[in-house]
Amino acid sequence: MNTVCFVDTTLRDGEQAAGVAFTVEEKVQIARLLDQVGVYQIEAGIPAMGKLETDAIYRILSLDLKARISTWNRATLGDVKASLACGARHLHISAPVSDIHIRYKLKRSRLWVLDSVRRAVSYAREHGCTVTIGAEDASRADMGFLVTFARFAREEGASRLRFADTLGVLDPFITRNKVTRIIQEVGIDVEMHAHNDFGMAVANTLAAYQAGAKYLSTTVSGLGERAGNSSFEEMVRILQEMKGLKIDVDDNKLNELIDYVAVAANRPFYHTKGKKINAGTVPIRIREN
């Protein structure tokens, strides 16, 4: 049995990579392969984006996969209603928690954030949905408010908190300290969502796991916005080979998934640490005594 749960966001954050636009059929096939590989949850998209997105999500939901199928939503009733309309029952509701986003980007207040989340979560739960709450730009948030937000999420009935290093500015030491504090002070399950702007996404995800985060947000081959996200296959191999965890992943299907996403995303094959190694011939000079 897996001791961690992978939450794959290839179909949402992965598609935000420059130049990537999956077709509906590609999204459906990626979801099938993710399920066959053995991921716990598939973040299938953002219903508020429109008909093409909702068509894909509806198709994925109709597959009756073993993996949980979730949607990404802003903390608005409009987003929640769009998710309900396409049949989603696992909703992720995200809100900014850093003052940089709240006050300077949105021109709002912390209280406005909490009120918006409360309304959206209440509406979703009234309609029988399981809800997770995302702390957007958590890495730059005031730690006191982040703890307050996490406690608020738990009290509102969220099953877990997503800690989002939205700009990829953390290092593993700070990541571990922040996640440890949230878990110790609030007692809520944490999901780590890391970006790779400074090449730290995998390291930060590992640090969060070591701090007690049971849920790891990843994408196939680290595909994602800007420099990308934490790589699913790299995290699998690190936990298996370096940490000795039993991760129930079908390796044959994993290779098929990686190759399929590379073609669908128009990304040429490059050295993927969780999959293959390209080895060359290295000349060695033997010293004679």
Does 22 fall in a domain?
Answer: yes
CB 37 within 8 A of CB 66: no
Does 269 fall in a domain?
Answer: no
Nearest to 191 by CA among 241, 128, 138: 138
Does 246 fall in a domain?
Answer: yes
Distance CA 218, CA 182 (A): 21
Distance CA 2, CA 210 (A): 15
User: pLDDT, tens digit, for every residue of 108-150?
Assistant: 999 999 999 999 999 999 999 999 999 999 999 999 999 999 9
Does 270 fall in a domain?
Answer: no
Give the number of domains in the chain: 1
Residues of the domain holding 201: 5-264
**pLDDT in 10s for each residue of the chain, 289 residues:** 458 999 999 999 999 999 999 999 999 999 999 999 999 999 999 999 999 999 999 999 999 999 999 999 999 999 999 999 999 999 999 999 999 999 999 999 999 999 999 999 999 999 999 999 999 999 999 999 999 999 999 999 999 999 999 999 999 999 999 999 999 999 999 999 999 999 999 999 999 999 999 999 999 999 999 999 999 999 999 999 999 999 989 999 999 999 999 999 998 755 455 555 444 444 444 444 4
Does 284 fall in a domain?
Answer: no
pLDDT of residue 272: 53
- Residue 40, domain CATH: 3.20.20.70
Does 84 fall in a domain?
Answer: yes
CA dihedral 56, 213, 174, 146 (to 10 degrees): 70
Does 271 fall in a domain?
Answer: no
Does 24 fall in a domain?
Answer: yes
